[in-house]
Amino acid sequence: MAPSFALFSMLSFTLIALTSLQTFPAVLSAKMPYWDGIGPQVTQDLDRSPSAQPLTQVIPPWLEHKCTVTPLQIDAEEYKARCLPGKGPCFTHKGDGSLKTTNIEPWLEPLDMTQEILLMDDTARDFTVRDPSTPFEITYLAYANAKIRYSNFNPETRCYDILIKAGEHGGGNISVGESPADMSLFSRSSFSRSSSEHSHPFCAEHLYITIY
């Protein structure tokens, strides 16, 4: 019995050693946000759209070592296809607001938001999400960490929820509406207290975001 047991142990050890030498395909990597974020964001370099090109994102020096800016891609073809009538929602920033200096995280499941967010052009003001059922949260790093969250998309009604929160220390006021002049949802920053969250359901195919 002893020799058989020794042989079995040797075979088991050899099998484990060979398994450890096997080359497995690369896996997705996850990175945690610097601040208290929602969870890990999965990043990878696969499945790029043939029509996409990377957005040039210049990070202000005072943000460089404090945050993680989500890399984004310009993909006008896919953006236009996703923003046809009945395909929305799509989003436009008014004024100076854009996605150039933002952190974008999936809200419920690990996804590569670099792949999920579609930009119209290099201004990064017009954007949509590849799958409208994908919830996400945007943190505007250049606007005192003001936030907007998109969630609860209903494929039958095409309605969804938007939550916003103004930035910290008197910066990053944010509003959302169904037209450039509409401010149905508004959150103002305060020096004296923490900004409160405000949410509202929308069914519009296009929303306008103002942040200052």
pLDDT category at 135 given cuts 50, 70, 90 is: very high
Q: Which pLDDT score is estimated for 117?
A: 97
State the average pLDDT for the chain: 79
Residue 157 has pLDDT above 90, yes or no: yes
Paired sense of beta strands 90-94 and 41-43, if any: unpaired
Beta-bridge partner residues of 176: 185, 209
Listed in sequence order, the residues at least 6 apart from 26 whose beta carbon sits closer than 8 Å to its beta carbon are: 44
Share of the chain above pLDDT 90, in %: 53
**In this structure, are residues 177 and 164 in contact, taking their beta carbons and an 8 Å threshold?**
no
Q: What is the pTM assigned to this prediction?
A: 0.75
For tokens 């579609």, the residue is: 118
Q: Is the CA virtual torsion 114, 207, 107, 131 positive or negative?
A: negative
User: Mean pLDDT across the stretch 3-7?
Assistant: 49
Residue 25 has pLDDT above 60, yes or no: no
Token pair listed for 170 = 């008197």
- 6 residue type, one letter: A
Q: What secondary structure does DSSP assign to 89-111, as a single string?
A: -EEEEETT--STTEEEEESSS--
pLDDT category at 17 given cuts 50, 70, 90 is: very low
